[in-house]
Amino acid sequence: QSVLTQPPSVSGAPGQRVTISCTGSSSNIGAGYDVHWFQQLPGAAPKLLIYGNNNRPSGVPDRFSGSKSATSASLTITGLQAEDEADYYCQSYDISLSGSEVFGGGTKLTVL
Amino acid sequence: QITLKESGPTLVKPTQTLTLTCSFSGFSLSSNGVGVGWIRQPPGKALEWLALIYWDDDKRYSPSLKSRLTITKDSPKNQVVLTMTNMDPVDTATYFCAHREVYGGHDYFDYWGQGTLVTVSS
């Protein structure tokens, strides 16, 4: 059971907009810690998509955006493309149990 | 250009100790704010953070695995080593190392190695 909760799967048609949620608690996201998002294509290493809640690294299309509010965060993908089909993970820091980096359980995005 | 690559055994027996090496280039682990972490992923499952070491030798461990993990660095060799004792079949996973650095107040894993699959079986 992950400390950060994500929906197991989401789907959308090409061109549509999808949102992936990441629900935490007062000991992680709610405590003010940054949320980062990673994209993992099949058989590949995770790739940084969003850092510091809503910042895109160089080279990441502006179709990807992040937000954070209270104890949750969200990743939104607009103009969905076939190559966006992948697993997506949120990541933050948790101050309970002596402190720990924590990942969400991951969300499989299917492009219909 | 930052690159990282994991190396180590592909197969270990239960109760054995696993030693993995992360060899990197494009950055120095002696530089202020820089770190290297280890993350694993069992087949078909989610990512799990294991350990993190910073330029100043500050070491952090997953609370659930802390008693089994040791992370060390060899800055001149550009390597970070992770050891995990008492391996069990549930530890079968792909193990990744990743670069970490503080940028403008944000601290995150930005570059990842390709990962190495470790199977625990007798």
Q: Which residues pair with A104 in a beta bridge?
A: A4
pLDDT digits (tens, 9 = 90+) for B57-95: 999 999 999 999 999 999 999 999 999 999 999 999 999
pLDDT digits (tens, 9 = 90+) for A6-33: 999 999 999 999 999 999 999 999 999 9
C-beta neighbour count of B93 within 10 angstroms: 21
CA A71 vs. chain centroid, Å, equals: 14
Strands A18-23 and A9-12: unpaired
Identify all chain A residues contacting B108, using CB atoms and an 8 Å cutoff.
Answer: 34, 36, 48, 51-52, 91
Q: Which residues of B98-115 are buried (b: 16+ CB within 10 A; e: fewer)?
A: bbbbeeeeebbbbbbbeb
Interchain CB contact of B112 with A (< 8 Å): yes
Q: What are phi and psi of B90, to 5 degrees?
A: -70, -10
Q: Which residues pair with B109 in a beta bridge?
A: B100
Contacts of B89 (CB under 8 A, 6+ apart): B14, B120, B121
Interchain CB contact of B52 with A (< 8 Å): yes
pLDDT digits (tens, 9 = 90+) for A35-71: 999 999 999 999 999 999 999 999 999 999 999 999 9
